[in-house]
Amino acid sequence: MDRRIAVRAIIMHNVQLLCVRHRRPVTFTDKDFWCLPGGKLETGESIKAGLSREIVEELGVKPVIGRLRYVQQYGYGDRHEQEAIEFFFQVTNNEDFLNINLADTALGEKEIGEVAFITPKEHKILPTFLATESLDAASDETQFFSSL
């Protein structure tokens, strides 16, 4: 089984979550959804270095990475023959992300079609647990989700 490891940023402002819609095709059949900024780790890259690189490439802002909030493990592909593990980190410099200009980024305009602070319960968002979690909660416990 192939394993994909990815990192995602939780960036909150006024109980809204910074999300993106991708331009490029993704592996899901339903492409009309929001997701958190981030992406796949490169070979040998640490989790936090990968998250920082992905956020700077996509949004043009260097994140201040806080604690690990969620870990998700799931299968994908036609018969779920591939596995993904995603790490979701709180980003603490939220104000720096209020005025994103994708034209100022390395990959933003190529990869991202739209970026906005949204209310997860009012939009289709992946992973779906983000619509039901209290993202602004001060819980010290990391939550784990698995569909394997």
What pLDDT, on the 0 to 100 scale, is given for residue 24?
A: 59
> Is residue 27 pLDDT above 60, yes or no?
no
CATH of the domain at 53: 3.90.79.10
Q: How far apart are CA 63 and CA 94, in angstroms?
A: 8
Q: Count other C-beta atoms under 10 Å from residue 109's C-beta.
A: 14
In the chain, how many domains are there? 1
pLDDT in tens, 37-67: 999 999 999 999 999 999 999 999 999 999 9
Confidence of residue 31 (pLDDT cuts 50, 70, 90): low
Look up the domain containing 20 and give its range.
2-146
Choose between 96 and 140: higher pLDDT: 96
Instruction: Say how many CA atoms lie within 13 Å of 64 toward its Cβ.
Output: 7
How many angstroms separate the Cα of 72 from the Cα of each of 14, 33, 99, 123? 25, 18, 29, 20
Task: Give the chain's mean pLDDT.
Answer: 86
Q: What is the pLDDT of residues 71-85, one digit of tens each?
A: 999 887 777 678 889
Gap between the Cα atoms of 132 and 148, Å rounded: 20
Q: Tell me the pLDDT tens digit for each residue of 94-105.
A: 999 999 988 888
The reported pTM is: 0.86
Q: What percent of the chain has pLDDT over 90?
A: 51
